[in-house]
Amino acid sequence: MHTTIIITFGLVLLAMMLFIGEKIGFSRQTLTYSFVILWLALTVINGAIGIVSAGQSLSTELGIGTMVFSIPVAALVLFMVLSAES
């Protein structure tokens, strides 16, 4: 359940960054790089908390962290590809 919540948070963060960032006037390239860096940092912090507090193994956190990181980034790539065609 925690993984689903974190992935949902990542998707909401992505939507908010794209919507608010474009309204403020940032370029999509800047928003893309900013999201990827921010989401990577948050994923690493989440994995570190999982190892330290929840007692998960490093291999488990690496597997889950890869999924947690890649789903919102894949949504970002899909958005960029679909918006470039229109």
Return the residue matching tokens 């899909």: 78
pLDDT digits (tens, 9 = 90+) for 10-69: 999 999 999 999 999 999 999 999 999 999 999 999 999 999 998 999 999 999 999 999
Structure tokens at 81: 């590809």
Structure tokens at 71: 């789903």
**Would you place residue 86 in the very low, low, confident or very high pLDDT band (cuts 50, 70, 90)?**
low
Helices (H), 25-57: 28-52
pLDDT on residue 47: 95
Nearest Cα residue to 6 out of 58, 74, 64 = 64
